[in-house]
Amino acid sequence: MKTLQELLERTVGIALEGSAQTPVADLNIDSRRIQTSHLYAAMPGTQVDGHAFCRQAALAGASAILVQQDWEGKSAFAAEFPNVAILSSNEVSESLGHLALNFFDRAAESLVVVGVTGTNGKTSVCTLLFDLFTRLGFDCGLVSTVENRIKQEVLKSTHTTPNVVDLHRLFAQMLNQGCTHCFMEVSSHAAHQNRIAGVPFAGGVFTNITHDHLDYHGSFDAYIKAKKSFFDRLPATAFALTNRDDRNGMVMLQNTKAMRYTFAMNSTADFRVKILEHDLGGMLLHVQGQELWTPLVGGFNASNLLAVYAAAFLLTEGEEDILPALSALPRVNGRFEALQGPNNISAIVDYAHTPDALLNVIQTINEIRKRGVNLITVVGCGGDRDREKRPEMARIAVEGSDRAVFTADNPRSELAQDIINEMAAGVSPQHYKKMLQVLDRKEAIKTALLLAQPGDVVLVAGKGHETYQEINGVRHDFDDKAVLRELFELLF
């Protein structure tokens, strides 16, 4: 049993204003699940301030609360609940991370943790690093949008980056099961909300930054600062690896204490890659003076693979088996996955849900497809998310494809037709004839396949690995790949 005193002795930045001997059996930020001997952290949220629930937490049995130093309700709370320890901090979310690190016996410090951030490519880079190091003989953990893993055990993933307590709990589980490395996505939300507080990163990787999440951050500048804050907090013992081809790549390194490295396809950098050949079956790459064949496709994947190679090189001091192991890695679930259908029709499923990601996928297909082969793109935009990207994604889809079918993605609380209307506003009059609107996603995919002639390519974008569709707060089973396979059998 740990006591607050024991935890506080190891945690900087927290002042104790109540009993120092309160035992803490767990750390839990969910006020609905507070139990005896629990600590409640009053997290300032995007919609609700956690300080509003301090009294409720105490009545539910919390033995201690962690609050902001300047919380005005402190005196009244202390008078009503004299037996509840009050801890105060200048930044509750940051302090909670360090408390969690200590509570779980600093398990994260025994792991080699590498964080990957960027608008696009986070899941691919993390998953490829996990697969690569597993092939190299290491026991690894993975924290990603698609799934969390402890070696080959798959755990449910609800957020790109878990809350800070769950994250440190996950590190402890990884360590207990023999893991030596963990590769994790670091979202801009997680960096801004201090969900990575207390994590002793061994390295950080930046893939790129484009238009996304402006509904949360408010401006592109704030979005960049959130990504950059991850690198600002890296220690001097870590490496900071950035994409020099991205115009904001070097911004990420401006204030970092970490050792700085760069990778690029089109710029001078520490690590370089060049595409020698590519088709829908894969690519032949030139990486640091050596050739590499991979089943992955597209310049964005060449960049992702180079980031993986560079990170692995830095972590292993240039182990010779890196390139052969990289060559054997399969494609990442829902990232440019190709399905071959009847009549030589190719369907590609990709998670592209930002303008830049969609543009990259469409450009890749257009570079590969032969003359006379048409591209038909099925795409939608998520509800309750950045609305500014909707017309831009529609414009990219229509201008880069022979036909574009606009449909529902995850409309959430919005009406799918309203989202599609906002998308269609980005289409110029000369492209109206190339645009179709089909509200039902399955019918939209069916329409695209019926439009396809032998040899054509159908791109189904936006959902990738997801196996659900969220409508009015309810998740329904929906898997783009499963729907495509079903329709291949029904239609041909």
| Residue 358 to residues 164, 367, 459, Cα–Cα distance (Å) | 31, 14, 10
What's the pTM? 0.85
User: For residue 222, what pLDDT is reported?
Assistant: 86
The gap from C-alpha 291 to its chain's centroid, in whole angstroms, comes to 30
Mark whether 284 and 394 lie in a shared domain.
Answer: no
What CATH number does the domain containing 189 carry? 3.40.1190.10
Amino acid at 41: A
Helix (H, G, I), strand (E, B) or coil at 52: helix
Q: Among the three residues 56, 75, 101, which one is the final residue of a domain in this structure?
A: 101
Q: What are phi and psi of 107, to 5 degrees?
A: -60, -35
User: For residue 30, what pLDDT is reported?
Assistant: 46
DSSP state of 150: E
Mark whether 360 and 244 lie in a shared domain.
Answer: no
Mark whether 205 and 63 lie in a shared domain.
Answer: no
CA pair distance 310, 239, nearest whole angstrom: 11
User: For residue 26, what pLDDT is reported?
Assistant: 59
Q: What are phi and psi of 225, to 5 degrees?
A: -65, -35
Residue 484 lies in a domain: yes
Nearest to 297 by CA among 271, 275, 269, 323: 275
DSSP state of 415: -
Q: Among the three residues 327, 350, 385, which one is the final residue of a domain in this structure?
A: 327
Residue count (the chain): 492
Mark whether 67 and 8 lie in a shared domain.
Answer: yes
Please check whether residue 120 is in contact with residue 209, taking contact to mean a CB–CB distance below 8 angstroms.
Answer: no
Please check whether residue 306 is in contact with residue 274, taking contact to mean a CB–CB distance below 8 angstroms.
Answer: no
Mark whether 111 and 222 lie in a shared domain.
Answer: yes
What CATH number does the domain containing 62 carry? 3.40.1390.10
Mark whether 112 and 92 lie in a shared domain.
Answer: no
User: For residue 31, what pLDDT is reported?
Assistant: 43
Please check whether residue 163 is in contact with residue 92, taking contact to mean a CB–CB distance below 8 angstroms.
Answer: no
CA pair distance 138, 267, nearest whole angstrom: 32
User: For residue 18, what pLDDT is reported?
Assistant: 58
Domain of 214 in residue numbering reads as 107-327
Residue 342 lies in a domain: yes
CA pair distance 338, 349, nearest whole angstrom: 7
Q: Among the three residues 327, 349, 365, which one is the final residue of a domain in this structure?
A: 327
User: For residue 145, what pLDDT is reported?
Assistant: 84
User: For residue 33, what pLDDT is reported?
Assistant: 45
DSSP state of 329: P
Mark whether 130 and 276 lie in a shared domain.
Answer: yes
Mark whether 121 and 253 lie in a shared domain.
Answer: yes
Residue 332 lies in a domain: no
CA pair distance 234, 208, nearest whole angstrom: 18
Mark whether 129 and 92 lie in a shared domain.
Answer: no
Mark whether 152 and 260 lie in a shared domain.
Answer: yes
Mark whether 156 and 56 lie in a shared domain.
Answer: no
With a cut of 50, which residues of the chain have pLDDT below it?
Answer: 20, 29-35, 217
Mark whether 371 and 321 lie in a shared domain.
Answer: no
Number of structural domains in the chain: 3
